[in-house]
Structure 1
Amino acid sequence: MDVATTAVVLSVGVIVLLVGLMALGWRNRVRRQQEVPAPAGPPGDPGAPLYAAEGQYVVTTSGGDWLDRVTAHGLGNKATATAAVYPHGLLFDRSGAGEVYIPRKNLTGVRLERGIAGKFVEKDGLIVVSWVQDAHSFDTGFRTRYAADKTPLLSSISALIEDTDPLIHPTGKEVQ
């Protein structure tokens, strides 16, 4: 074999090895996270949302550890999504992946961040929702498609957590 052919074969071999090791690591992470409870399913008829915004569901990580992606139950998969705030909870309706519903009682905080496992944007570009289920705490990142949606979505989730009247839209208008 000539030098060029040898280099190509070695390069392809290294790439295959790296992809295999990444797949093995992902599989092992899924196994380690088997005790992570599946998110609650949304109510059968959730009703009309108080506020909804299009964007990207970035990832769910272990609470307080922005690099520890939760792979169990598809929570670690990025997807185009709509974040909808209801009086009873928060729903991430993901395209091509399962819905992630967080009941109101499980929400513990919301904040703006620069990044979370695998997604980094401008300062305060991501909405990160903190929540608990059973003995596990999680952080879920969401990036709104339109910058104008970020503040109202953040306000709606904050109102839900603070147990203020969730029927008041972030703009101050009462929702029918």
Structure 2
Amino acid sequence: MTPLELTHLAAGEKSAPVTDWAARIGWLVGLALFIALVYWLMREGWKWRGTLQGDLPELPTAPEEVGEAKLAVLSMSGRYHGSTTAGQWLDRIVAHGLGTRSRVELTLTEAGLDVVRPGATDFFIPAGALREALLGKGIAGKVLSEGGLLVVTWAHGDRLIDSGFRSDHAAEHTEWVDTLNSMIKKSLETTDTEGAR
């Protein structure tokens, strides 16, 4: 066969047109049902986790008092990445809206840490409940660069909770860690002094 004959033969061969529309539609409907099932299972898992964490008390709100305790020591805007059981960065807490990622405005006062989240539940961490602040790289399945996350450990009910925040200006994290830890140390010293009396 000459190259011209081969070209003519190849040009003459065509694939058969696809006419099995029922099979195509069946596959598309099956895929859509599968995606809906996966979404439904994820939603049920989220609700189930919230039910398991139902023993978590209501979140405290910021005190209404004015004066020295209300003066801001530090403030920061950024993102709230979620809360987990302390030390277990994948065990997300979803009860009372703590699992919802959102924008955040943090304000540290002598009374505690005020967490204001537009579109989500605000909460307040009293100064006496603060346990530790550190720089982390991951929380609730979100991984960032080393030191890219401000992790605040606090007590709520009988649990220790880690909450992760990322500032719009990551350079602020170190100042927050130092200020929070000195505030916690001061609070513990005051508690020890009062307990010794």
- Distance in 2, matches of 1:148 and 1:61, equals 24
Q: CA deviation at 1:13?
A: 0.7
- Asked if residue 163 in structure 1 is aligned to residue 186 in structure 2, the reply is yes
Structure ranking higher in helix proportion = 2
How many residues are matched? 164
Alignment of 1:3-152 (within 5 A): 3-45=23-65, 47-152=70-175
Taking structure 2 as the reference length, the TM-score comes to 0.79
Q: Bigger shift: 144-153 or 29-38?
A: 144-153
Identity %: 31
Q: CA deviation at 1:118?
A: 2.6
Q: Which has the higher contact order (CA 8 A, sep 6+)?
A: 1
Aligned partners of 1:28 and 1:121: how far apart in 2?
28
- Structure 1: state its 5+ residue gaps: 165-176
Paired position in structure 2 for 1:173: none
**Counterpart code for 1:8:** L
**Contact 2:134–2:151 (Cα < 8 Å) also in 1:** yes
Distance across 1 between alignment mates of 2:185 and 2:125: 15
Unaligned runs of 5+ in 2: 1-20, 188-197
TM-score by length of 1: 0.87
Larger Cα-atom Rg: 2
Higher mean displacement: 2-11 or 110-119:
2-11
Displacement of 1:159: 2.0
- For 2:28 and 2:179, locate their aligned partners in 1 and report how far apart those are by CA, in whole Å: 54
Moved >3 Å (runs of 4+): none
